[in-house]
Structure 1
Amino acid sequence: MRFLVYDRLLGFGDDYWIEDDRGTKVFLVDGTSMRLRDRWELKDAQGRVLIGIRQKMLALRDTLVIERGGEPLATIRRKRLSPLRNHCRVSLADGHELDVSGRIPDREFAVEYDGEPLAVVSRRPPAVRDTYGLDIVRDDADPALLLAVAVCVIHLSEKEREDG
């Protein structure tokens, strides 16, 4: 399953559509800036909220929390920085973890579970300016969760770049 994401993820407050490989609008990322907490919502084409994303306050490192139905689903933190690869750790509410690694600022990275790829984010082959693709590798993977993970790790990468 392939999705195309228009790369307007530089800050909260942005709204944009995620399309499938046929150009059908499938998900809406609805960004809002609130006074104390930044939030996004991932909605289906009918406007139903599937996933909520919020910035965790009072955390030592930048941390984003993904929620479904008001319940925490995953927590995302920057793992470690290296000159060539970035890493994020996704801690799922059920105790499992996903590993995100690659060239996150370049939109070239993979999401893995137990060493097995779940999704791959890449600017190739869309060749559409300011667009990247998210290919879900496993049929049993949760597309909304994997799209939310991609949105979060790119946001953390952009925030780190802005902070210097």
Structure 2
Amino acid sequence: MRFQVRERLFGIGDDYWIEDTDGRKVFLVDGKAMRLRDTFELKDTEGHALVEIRKKLFSLRDTMLIERGGEQFATIRRKRLSLLRNHYRVTLVDGTELDVSGRILDREFAVEYDGELLAQISRRRLTVRDTYGIDIVREDADAALLIAVSVCVIVLAEKEHEG
């Protein structure tokens, strides 16, 4: 599965569509303005919230939370020791851990589970300016979760770069 994301994104209050390779709208990222913390909802085409993404208010390191059905589903935070590339760890509530690494600000990174590639995020094969692709490699992967993880690490990397 391949998705395309236009890059005017990730500001609080911004809404934007994630499209498939045929240009059909698949997911809406709904930015929630006027909140104390960064909050987004990933919705399907009918407006149903699939996951809620929000920045944890109080934590030593910047942390994003993904909730599904009102329950915490995953936590994303930057790994402590990552010198050359950005590294983030995604911890699901069942204890499963995903690794995200690469050049996040350049939109060139990967999401892996136990060394197996789940998703590749890249601008390389796209000719449209300010657009990047999210390739979900495994057919049985949770596309909404992997897109939410991509949104989270980009928000965290941009916040860190600003600070």
Deviation at 1:97, TM superposition (A): 0.3
Structure 2, unaligned runs of 5 or more: none
Tell me the TM-score normalised to structure 2 length. Answer: 0.96
Distance 1:66 1:10 in 2: 15
Which is further off, 132-141 or 29-38? 29-38
1:155–1:81 distance in 2 versus 1, CA, 3 Å: farther
The percent of aligned pairs where both chains have the same amino acid is 71
Residue 47 of structure 1 aligns with which residue?
47
Please tell me whether the aligned partners of residues 15 and 28 of structure 1 are also in contact (alpha carbons under 8 angstroms).
Answer: yes
Encode CA deviations 1:3-29: one digit per residue, 9 max, x unaligned: 001112342211000000110000000
Residue 70 of structure 1 aligns with which residue?
70
SS at match of 2:99: strand
For the aligned residue pairs, the C-alpha RMSD in angstroms reads 1.2
- Trace 1:106-117 onto structure 2 (pairs within 5 A): 106-117=106-117
Pair 1:60-2:60 in alignment:
yes
Structure 1 runs (4+) deviating above 4 angstroms are none
Distance 2:18 2:27 in 1: 5
Residue 137 of structure 1 aligns with which residue?
137
Deviation at 1:80, TM superposition (A): 3.6
Distance 2:87 2:74 in 1: 16
SS at match of 1:33: coil
Distance 2:136 2:128 in 1: 19
Residue 118 of structure 1 aligns with which residue?
118
Deviation at 1:37, TM superposition (A): 2.6
Which is further off, 37-46 or 3-12? 3-12
Deviation at 1:36, TM superposition (A): 2.3
Which is further off, 114-123 or 8-17? 8-17
